[in-house]
Amino acid sequence: MADLLRVGYNDPFYRFIAYTPRLKIKDFYKNAITLRVLDELDTSFAAIRNEYLTISKKKIFRNELRPLINLENERSSPPVAGMTHFAATDALTTLYNFILQWFLPQQCESLRMVAKIIPPRMRDIENNLLFKSASLEDAAGEIERFDEGFSPETEDGKSYLRLQRGALQDITQQRAFRNLMAQRERSAVEIIQRYLDDITVLHETFDVILGSKMEALQEELRRPAPQNRIGFDALQMKSVSGEGVLPKTLGDYLKALRIQYTSIIKIIKLELLVHQEESVTHSVQTIKAKG
């Protein structure tokens, strides 16, 4: 072989050196184990995520979650062929219970009180507290009206149930029912996202207030915390006073709210992500079935 190469290249000094492959055993086994672990994680990820959501909700909500009755009934009804049940129910229920159990009974008035101590030069912060709080006051009512759209006692609900029964019995009506469900899914996501944006703005506003260097504002934050702190002792949160201890000052109260809002935002975003994954998975399965 070396003589052939020398003749072919017209180079008497051409050298032929055979290189044996070098196996990186450590890297090989590391990559193989990583792939195996990822495969096992994929199979158990849904269960891990659901357990995380369950534990996180128990830390925030003192009472059982109040269900959206008509959406729960929709979830338990027979599915139309080629479709999944309404996927945004969990995120809507979490948002609904946050408003009912936390925001309306104790936080709304407290945030109005906080808005009054904001200096005039921080007008945007005051507006965020007032306008976003006012917006969240309407959230429970809007979610309840949306839920009534699946009720047999309302006109929208009757139309939905009539179309659902038709789709179960007649394949030609499935497309109309699928379009109706897609439209209601979009409406639900819009409701969730709009109020989630309000909660996020309030969370960011707490950061600005707590991080302010204005001495007058910091003096106001040293006031006693609002008295309507029902349930904060049930939260296993770490405040400046320690884990699970009631906030004593207004500043501590805002820090406690910030911790709670962080958890609520994470939970709802994760439930929305689950909703999107279920929609994509179902679409892929539908395409495969048709193919």
pLDDT attached to residue 87 = 77
DSSP summary character for residue 124: H
Tell me if the pTM is above 0.75: yes
Q: What are the DSSP E strand ranges found in 143-221?
A: none
The pairing of strands 238-239 and 242-243 is: antiparallel
Can you tell me the distance from the alpha carbon of 252 to that of 223, in angstroms, rounded to the nearest whole number? 10
Helices (H), 64-154: 69-76, 89-98, 108-116, 123-137, 139-148
pLDDT tens for each residue of 215-260: 989 898 888 877 655 445 444 344 333 445 567 888 888 988 898 8
Please give the mean pLDDT across all residues of the chain: 80
Q: In what helix (H) or strand (E) does residue 277 lie, and over which residues does it extend?
A: helix 250-290
> Does 183 have pLDDT greater than 70?
yes
Q: How do residues 18-47 score in pLDDT, each as one tens digit?
A: 556 667 778 888 888 888 888 877 777 778
Of 105-114, 191-200, 269-278, the range with the highest mean pLDDT is 191-200
Cβ(110)–Cβ(253) below 8 Å: yes
